[in-house]
Amino acid sequence: MAIEVFAAAKINLALHITGRRPDGYHDLDSLVVFADVGDRVAVRAAPDLSLALSGPQAAGLSSGEDNLVLRAARLLAGGGAAIALHKALPVASGIGGGSADAAAALRALAALWGVALPAPERILRLGADVPACLYGRPCRITGIGGAIAPLTDPLPGAALLLVHPGAALSTPEVFAALDRPDRAPLPDRLPRFAGLAEAAAFLAAQRNDLEAPAIRLLPVIAEVIAAVAAQPGCRLARMSGSGATCFGLFDRRTEAETAARALGRARPGWWVAAAGLAARP
């Protein structure tokens, strides 16, 4: 019997880069939520470890030894398994696709093999986003990704529009293009929001510090943000993570779905999805 786990898209509502460590890693302060669109990882018992890819975005992904799903499996070291990854999220798109897949693989394989999940410091070796994707709930992330604090309803009643222009960005190149790595963090105490209007106003006063360097490397991102912001009902438009996916916040899913249809018609080469917030894993 196969064990299947959903790998939800990760959305950085705000991403402040607050410092650079001597080892080259950057400290960050980020607010994260998860969408109900994503990939799926299924595992079943097998004598050897293997990975099969499917889905509309699978062509952009390698099934070689550097795949994060296989790296996650080797980190658990539980034995053999046939792993199937259905890839719906764009590759290298700033919404944690690879990290979410690795986290889903850890959950599924731990259940299949009857083993405990690795210690947080070992999980962090897979990437800065993997611990948060394993947590899978609204959270604030600080440090290099391993310090996670829960958030209570950061987007009351929100719907999301996700848009990717079809061009990948290298995360190391985006970080290298930062003009300064030591900007101010988020406020120490985050407010409680009575509704999405309050949440959007607060987020508009925050930043994604990787947005400007990403736009310099891939100018179409600015076009995506403007197109999302122009959709009726959009309260905030911003890039997620290191790009190139951008998101819009809407009060209702029907508004996000209408915007997705409009952008899908206007920009058939873009990946467009309407989403709600993912349920707790």
Query: Which CATH number goes with the domain that contains 208?
Result: 3.30.70.890
DSSP 150: E
CA distance 109 to 96: 19
CA distance 95 to 90: 9
Mean pLDDT along residues 74-84: 92
Tally of domains in the chain? 2
Annotated active-site residue in 27, 39, 101, 129 = 129
From 100, 122, 147, give the residue that closes a domain: 147
Please check whether residues 167 and 137 belong to one and the same domain.
Answer: no
Q: Is position 280 within any domain?
A: no
Catalytic residue check, 129 = yes
Mean pLDDT along residues 130-155: 95
Mean pLDDT along residues 79-108: 95
pLDDT at 78 over 90: no
Q: Is position 195 within any domain?
A: yes
Q: How many CB atoms lie within 10 A of CB 239?
A: 27
Please check whether residues 16 and 42 belong to one and the same domain.
Answer: yes
Annotated active-site residue in 10, 29, 39, 101 = 10
Mean pLDDT along residues 212-233: 98
- pLDDT value for 237: 98
Q: Is position 258 within any domain?
A: yes
Please check whether residues 49 and 123 belong to one and the same domain.
Answer: yes
Please check whether residues 182 and 242 belong to one and the same domain.
Answer: yes
From 147, 181, 200, give the residue that closes a domain: 147
Please check whether residues 132 and 180 belong to one and the same domain.
Answer: no
Mean pLDDT along residues 149-153: 93
Mean pLDDT along residues 106-127: 94
Mean pLDDT along residues 251-262: 98
Instruction: List the one residue out of 267, 220, 11, 17 whose CA is nearest residue 132.
Output: 11
Mean pLDDT along residues 142-147: 93
